[in-house]
Amino acid sequence: MSQETATEGDLRNTGMSLKHDREWDYELDRIVEEIEERDADRVGLQFPEGLKRRGPAVADDLRALCGDDVTFMLSGQPCYGACDLDTYLMRRTDVFVHFGHSPMKESDKIIYVPLFSNVDPFPILEEAVDELPEDDVGLVTTAQHMNQFESMVTWLETRGFDVHTRRGDDRLTHEGQVLGCNYASADIDANQVLYVGGGKFHPLGLAMEHPDKHVLIADPVNNVVTVADTEKFMKQRYAAVHKAMSANKWGVIFCTKIGQGRMDTAESILEDNDNTYLITMDEVTPDRLRNFDMDAFVNTGCPRITTDDGPQFHKPMLTPGEYRIAVGDKPLDSLSFDTFHGTW
Ligand code: SF4
């Protein structure tokens, strides 16, 4: 049995599993320093879904460093972004540590530990530059690779590129950073944008938000270079809109997660349509909506729920912009990606 398996789920085990964990830097020293500085007794720890299994071992190591006077509590709430802080736990702790995402909004109580990837992006950049025909290029990446951003800019510059970067808006912490719901950092003066990172969602959003640009994806995790293609995605979204066109009763979802609330958007839909019902919830899942007798839903929370998980819901699930098309307020060709701006 590996160290990690042996310590999993056992808060009493003061094992040293993290000493063997070379993938992520949990910045334990910085956390301990901040706990001591604030004289904190109760500390909340929140991990994204993919790293929750590491939570007990991190708590073990922190307890070994801080002693018995400090109580550590793990958040069991789902977490997919810095928009998704566990506010219940945060209110009941002196210090709240949020792992895995860069800050969406700073606060004295919250310590953000970004957990940068240790994957080397330069081998895949070497392949990607062959696919960039022009000298001007925009560069964007996700929070995980942000620690390499400056080096990537320099690397491209030494190969003759004029690299354009900007910090999108205050939902984003860093220059060049993109989120699944915000691609404002790619509003740059170049015809081509290089996205360094994994996953399909970000480059799709990027290409939809910037249809006039050539979006090249350099994925250092899967070691592939591809061009973002929105066609299949657009077809899927048009199909959902068409299905919803005959809907009479609409459920309008307002997400209560701290960084996902768009009440103005929800209210403008409710004001214009008597056959709409506001549904408030934190986690938006197919199971939770199944018992509502609606013909279609419009989601004002995280856009990924609508576009990534959309087909799993029992009724069509649309973004606010798609809703306007389905009810005839806007033309079909106005279909665009759903984005969020600002914080709370
Ligand atoms: S709203 Fe969704 S896409 Fe935006 S940061 Fe939160 S989880 Fe990510």
Q: What is the CATH number of the domain that holds 15?
A: 3.40.50.11840
For ligand 1, atom 1: residue with the closest CA: 302
Tell how far CA 130 is from the center of its chain: 29
CATH label of the domain that carries residue 193: 3.40.50.11850
214-219 and 224-227: which strand pairing?
antiparallel
In the DSSP assignment, the letter for residue 147 is G
Q: What is the mean pLDDT of residues 161-188?
A: 95
Per the DSSP assignment, residues forming a β-bridge with 111 are 97
**35 and 136 co-located in one domain:** no
- Band (pLDDT 50/70/90 cuts) for residue 269 is very high
Let me know if residue 339 belongs to a domain. Answer: no
194 lines ligand 1 (CB under 6 A): no
Rounded to the nearest angstrom, the distance between the alpha carbon of 296 and the centre of ligand 1 is 22
Range of the domain at 13: 3-113
Rounded to the nearest angstrom, the distance between the alpha carbon of 339 and the centre of ligand 1 is 9
Rounded to the nearest angstrom, the distance between the alpha carbon of 181 and the centre of ligand 1 is 6
Instruction: Tell me what pLDDT residue 5 has.
Output: 31
Nearest 5°: the CA angle 125, 129, 131 is 125
Beta strands in the chain (DSSP E): 42-46, 71-74, 95-99, 110-113, 136-141, 162-164, 192-196, 214-219, 224-227, 250-255, 276-281, 296-299, 317-318
Torsion of CA 169, 171, 172, 178, to 10 degrees: -90
161 lines ligand 1 (CB under 6 A): no
**80 and 158 co-located in one domain:** no
Instruction: Tell me what pLDDT residue 23 has.
Output: 66
Rounded to the nearest angstrom, the distance between the alpha carbon of 310 and the centre of ligand 1 is 15
**240 and 161 co-located in one domain:** no
Mean pLDDT for all residues in the chain: 92
Q: How far apart are CA 105 and CA 128, in angstroms?
A: 33
Rounded to the nearest angstrom, the distance between the alpha carbon of 305 and the centre of ligand 1 is 9
What domain count does the chain have? 3
For ligand 1, atom 4: residue with the closest CA: 181
Domain end, chosen from 196, 227, 258, is at: 227
Instruction: Tell me what pLDDT residue 200 has.
Output: 82
The model's pLDDT over 70-127, given as tens digits with 9 standing for 90+, comes to: 999 999 999 999 999 999 999 999 999 999 999 999 999 999 999 998 899 999 999 9
337 lines ligand 1 (CB under 6 A): no
3-state secondary structure of 203: helix
In the DSSP assignment, the letter for residue 104 is S
